[in-house]
Amino acid sequence: MFQKMVAERAYSKAEKRGFKGGHEMEDWLEAESEIKNQYFYWFQNADE
């Protein structure tokens, strides 16, 4: 599930850029970081 969410976010980033090549790794790493941060936020605030 995590990997699918990252892939979808990375795809969205590429789409916004018009699918211009050369940024695949950057898109993936940014998407991965964003999803991890989102999970961290959810878990951190789950007890509230």
> Residue 2 falls within a domain, yes or no?
yes
Q: Is residue 19 part of a domain?
A: no
pLDDT interval class at 43 (50, 70, 90): confident
Q: How many domains does the chain have?
A: 1
pTM of the predicted protein model: 0.79
The answer to the question of residue 17 being in a domain is no
- Residue 48's pLDDT is 64
Residue 1, in any domain of the structure = yes
Which token pair is 48?
A: 């509230």
Domain membership of residue 42 (yes or no) is yes
pLDDT digits over 3-37, tens only?
999 999 999 999 999 999 999 999 999 999 999 99
Is 48 domain-assigned? yes
Q: Which domain covers residue 5, as residue numbers?
A: 1-10+24-48
User: How crowded is residue 40: how many other Cβ atoms within 10 Å of its Cβ?
Assistant: 10
Q: Which helix H or strand E contains 45, and what residues bound it?
A: none
